[in-house]
Structure 1
Amino acid sequence: MLTRAQKLEWLALHAEKQRRRRENQLREYRAYPKQAEFHAAGRESRERLLMAGNQLGKTWSAGYETAMHLTGRYPDWWVGREFTKPISAWAAGVTSELTRATVQRVLCGEFNAIGTGALPREVITEKTMKRGLANAIDTLVIRWGGGGDIQATESLLGFKSYDQGREKFQGETLHWVWLDEEPDEDIYFEALTRTNATGGSLAMTFTPLKGITGVVKRFMMEKAPGTHVTRMTIDDAEHYTPEKRAEIIAGYPAHELEARTKGIPSLGSGRIWPVTDESISVEPFAIPAHWAQINGIDFGWDHPSAAVNLAWDRDADIIYVTKAYRKKEQTPVLFAASVKPWGEWVPWAWPHDGLQHDKGSGQALRDQYADQGMKMLPNKATHPPEANEKGEVVEGSGGNGVEAGVVEILDRMQTGRWKVFSHLTEWFEECRMYHREDGKIVKLDDDLLSASRYAYMMRRFAITKPAPSKPIEYKRKRLA
């Protein structure tokens, strides 16, 4: 039985333990796998994007990484970038009010409890407030190198907002910039420029509700050198139960569902194939010998050359995308070496530009690939010609129109007759971003999709794998 004095001592110790834990949240931070992927990419990539749905932990993870860089306190499990000295940094949101409500709250805690966020209370040595907005912080001075070390030097953090305009993002030299929610391109590049002189880094976290903007294109389509994108879905957020996830998903309108739950850019009516990954994805399996196969190729150089393999279950009339390969600046020799293991017996469908002649060799593209052992079909990809009641080919039918192939493939997707092996991540990536602007298909980063369409158009030439030829057996003639 504890005495009254012992109980009071225990309560005091417990309260002190809770206070220390509350005022050093950084020590408690543990990343989910997708957040850890985002952090780890910082070691190699200067520009990073964590594109996630709402309330999945994207702001939280970037806030805690920002706190690590400002304090120099990295956990044992950390494998991302590390700064070895104090830094100058910015953290920014859409408006001053939103910056206060999100970025500042994650870093500092609620205003009446500064030091209960990602930044431990003991490291916040000075703060300057913004004018004209209650409880909004303008700058923080952060002790770097560990709490209680009087010899430690200091980092500097400024809070910014996009509504201040591009001019307010000029002038500074920084080591680290965190942009929470998507900025316009001019602010993005201005913020990135602040890190040029130091070789610093920029991290960005947002839900892609604006669709295919210039910033999204930089990461998802252009894939500029030094960029990395991590996409986090509601299934990656471990703080939700399956029941809660289902409840959240049910509450979103259809046109925002994928952006808010999966971090897929909102394309609305502009998306060409408005289907979910799950509805067309299947686990890989061995292709039955009696199924017909055909490959498709889309020629490229500045944009990637791409190839796919289609396997056709004729009995069920289901087409499967089983293989995909995409690579920039590859000669026919290198490209062929990568795809010939798919089976040299499989025919290749190719587009009209395969008839173009190389300026150096004077040889058509189609022939250059054929010379490397790829079984190129004799003619460019066209739709099957139509016949009239007499069995005569209808003049003008066949053709190679894009829209017809796009519509037919969508029909197959919606009726369960187009499936894609689940490990073909680049194919799914292109499919999510395939969209229209002003009613026209955007011909950008659709290389694997184009190769798929060419193969589909020429499926009438798909063949089954030839049976291995048996060696001729010679019987030895018996001498009399």
Structure 2
Amino acid sequence: MIAPQQENPRLVLAKTIMERARRARTNRLAYYRPYEKQLEFHAAGAKHRERLFSAGNQLGKTFSGGAETALHLTGRYPDWWEGKVFNRPTVGWAASVSGASTRDGVQRILFGRPGVDSELGTAAIPKDAIKEIVRLPGMPNAYSSAVIRHGGGGDVQAGESVLGFRNYEQGREKFQVETLDFVWLDEEPPIDIYMEALTRTNTTMGPVYLTFTPLQGMSLTVMRFLIEQHDGTTVIFMGIYDAKHYSKEHADAIVASYPEHEREARAFGKPVLGSGAVFPIAESEITCVPFSIPDDWPRLCAMDLGWDHPTAGVWLAHNLEADIVYLYDVYKRSKQVPAVHASAIKARGAWIPVAWPHDALQKQKDTGVPMRDTYRAEGLNMLPERMQFEDGSIGVEPGVQIMLNRMQTGRFKVFANCEDWLKEYRIYHRKDGVIVKQMDDAIDASRGGIMSLRYAKTNVVSTFKRHRENWRA
């Protein structure tokens, strides 16, 4: 009896490697490992119906939108997934600006390069999940819709999901009638298109998520997320240094290559405000890595009062030698009584003087006591006079110009972890030359703090202890 001839081990290894490569190529979804900001975007879907992923160019925002769409269509959620989950087949839309951009953008991300048959199934939607594709008449290689297998197993119901394609150039009417589970909008839509897309998911209360670079500035769509901040909305920013496929040197070169007026949007996903920005200074120029504030730097807390809109507090430290003001902490909270705000402020240093606005002199309707006196009774170290310049004036524009001058000369810095302040900075703008009074509580507090900077104090106790320890040493 002749023994069967064994296959060459090298050939077996080569076949194994090729098969693994084939499986990986036709099931990219299983190998999707999002960056931290992409993870944040996905996870936010568990709590927020409306999400904006505002990211720079070529950072992975579109693939994130495609990967999430593929998961909702197939039901193949990975173990790390913390976002929205559908345990049944879904009906959704994916859309972009034009028919061509929808084909070359979202369709490519979901199915593979258009017009190349061998590429079908090499993108976000696994090849074995693609059951049927309906082509769009009149546009080569474009799809009108697709049927996707929704896998069974566990609590996931087997069946068929349906994905339709739309584009903004079709107009608002093409975004009507349907009832959907989700909508993915890649590139910024006009507000009327967005509202129609949102309406399609009213019955299911399913997610609508946007992925784009905000080159149109403070548009109505961007304002919905950044200024109006309706319940259920959230925005996640992703900058070039959050994308791990770029080295720092490569990222630095890309940032430098962008025109200055587009740099914040293209590199960091921040809306371009252009001439409308109150502070037309790149965020990267005013932020710094947090550090321990020296004891001998005078400090000041400045407040802006509110109820429906937040009560805000910012903390400033003044490096007298270099004349640099550092904004190192921020607090914002709405619909809370003074005792709650006072507790949070005292926790950051009860000895720090607190600058307060002129409306703190107004008497409360229930007690007849001015807010200034209420906070003073709660133990805050309130200044003897309201926020004002030495001559007694309280003009907004002079304070803004002083802040702008400090920013331009490198004498106003913000700790990079003061996100609540930076969110306001990104959208602080003018309309018809007038500052828009929306979502500016922390900015207003910091402007008042600059006006009252002469009252900043050092911690006498800490300074005394440090000098005593140095003397003993």
Structure-1 residue corresponding to 2:377: 371
State whether residues 264 and 283 of structure 2, in contact with CA within 8 Å, keep that contact through their aligned partners in structure 1. no
**In structure 2, distance between residues paired with 1:421 and 1:11:** 53
Structure-1 residue corresponding to 2:30: 27
The alpha carbon displacement at 1:404 in A equals 0.9
**In structure 1, distance between residues paired with 2:205 and 2:266:** 33
**In structure 2, distance between residues paired with 1:441 and 1:264:** 19
Structure-2 residue corresponding to 1:447: 441
- The answer on 1:77 being equivalent to 2:80 is yes
The alpha carbon displacement at 1:458 in A equals 1.3
Structure-2 residue corresponding to 1:88: 91
Structure-1 residue corresponding to 2:45: 42
State whether residues 180 and 205 of structure 1, in contact with CA within 8 Å, keep that contact through their aligned partners in structure 2. yes
Structure-1 residue corresponding to 2:104: 101
Unaligned runs of 5+ in 2: 465-473
Partner of residue 326 from structure 2, selected from 320, 331, 342: 320
What secondary structure sits across from 1:163 in the alignment?
Answer: helix
Structure-2 residue corresponding to 1:168: 174
The alpha carbon displacement at 1:214 in A equals 2.1
Q: 1:294 to 1:86 in 2, by over 3 A?
A: same
State whether residues 310 and 319 of structure 1, in contact with CA within 8 Å, keep that contact through their aligned partners in structure 2. yes
Amino acid aligned to 1:433: I
The alpha carbon displacement at 1:12 in A equals 6.1
**TM-score, length-scaled by structure 1:** 0.88
What secondary structure sits across from 1:291 in the alignment?
Answer: coil
Number of residues of Structure 1 aligned to a counterpart in Structure 2: 454
Structure-2 residue corresponding to 1:402: 396
Amino acid aligned to 1:449: I
Structure-1 residue corresponding to 2:265: 259
**In structure 2, distance between residues paired with 1:299 and 1:143:** 54
- The answer on 1:422 being equivalent to 2:416 is yes
Partner of residue 450 from structure 2, selected from 456, 463, 467: 456
State whether residues 293 and 317 of structure 2, in contact with CA within 8 Å, keep that contact through their aligned partners in structure 1. yes
State whether residues 357 and 386 of structure 2, in contact with CA within 8 Å, keep that contact through their aligned partners in structure 1. yes
Amino acid aligned to 2:451: M
Partner of residue 367 from structure 2, selected from 355, 361, 371: 361
The alpha carbon displacement at 1:6 in A equals 8.4
State whether residues 221 and 445 of structure 1, in contact with CA within 8 Å, keep that contact through their aligned partners in structure 2. yes
Q: Bigger shift: 52-61 or 242-251?
A: 242-251
Partner of residue 204 from structure 2, selected from 184, 198, 203: 198
- The answer on 1:214 being equivalent to 2:220 is yes
The alpha carbon displacement at 1:301 in A equals 1.0
Q: 1:460 to 1:165 in 2, by over 3 A?
A: same
**In structure 2, distance between residues paired with 1:6 and 1:377:** 83
**In structure 2, distance between residues paired with 1:119 and 1:224:** 32
**In structure 1, distance between residues paired with 2:324 and 2:275:** 27
Structure-2 residue corresponding to 1:311: 317
Q: 1:309 to 1:21 in 2, by over 3 A?
A: closer
The alpha carbon displacement at 1:131 in A equals 2.0
Amino acid aligned to 1:56: L
The alpha carbon displacement at 1:51 in A equals 0.7
Partner of residue 297 from structure 1, selected from 293, 303, 320: 303
State whether residues 71 and 146 of structure 1, in contact with CA within 8 Å, keep that contact through their aligned partners in structure 2. no
**In structure 1, distance between residues paired with 2:294 and 2:131:** 69
Cα deviations by residue, 1:103-132 (Å, 9 ceiling, x for unpaired): 000001013232221111222111111122
**In structure 2, distance between residues paired with 1:316 and 1:189:** 50
Q: What is the root-mean-square deviation of aligned Cα atoms in Å?
A: 2.4
The alpha carbon displacement at 1:11 in A equals 6.2
Which of structures 1 and 2 has the bigger CA Rg?
1
**TM-score, length-scaled by structure 2:** 0.90
The alpha carbon displacement at 1:336 in A equals 0.9
Amino acid aligned to 1:261: A
Cα deviations by residue, 1:52-91 (Å, 9 ceiling, x for unpaired): 0111100011101111110111222222222101000100
Structure-2 residue corresponding to 1:392: none
State whether residues 282 and 420 of structure 1, in contact with CA within 8 Å, keep that contact through their aligned partners in structure 2. yes
Amino acid aligned to 2:78: P
Amino acid aligned to 1:464: T
The alpha carbon displacement at 1:277 in A equals 3.4
Structure-2 residue corresponding to 1:52: 55
Unaligned runs of 5+ in 1: 386-397, 471-480
Identity %: 50
What secondary structure sits across from 1:310 in the alignment?
Answer: strand
Amino acid aligned to 1:103: V
State whether residues 90 and 159 of structure 1, in contact with CA within 8 Å, keep that contact through their aligned partners in structure 2. yes
The alpha carbon displacement at 1:270 in A equals 1.7
**In structure 2, distance between residues paired with 1:24 and 1:420:** 44
Structure-1 residue corresponding to 2:469: none
**In structure 1, distance between residues paired with 2:267 and 2:131:** 39
**In structure 2, distance between residues paired with 1:105 and 1:286:** 48
Partner of residue 434 from structure 1, selected from 428, 441, 451: 428
Q: 1:210 to 1:82 in 2, by over 3 A?
A: same
Q: Bigger shift: 288-297 or 226-235?
A: 288-297
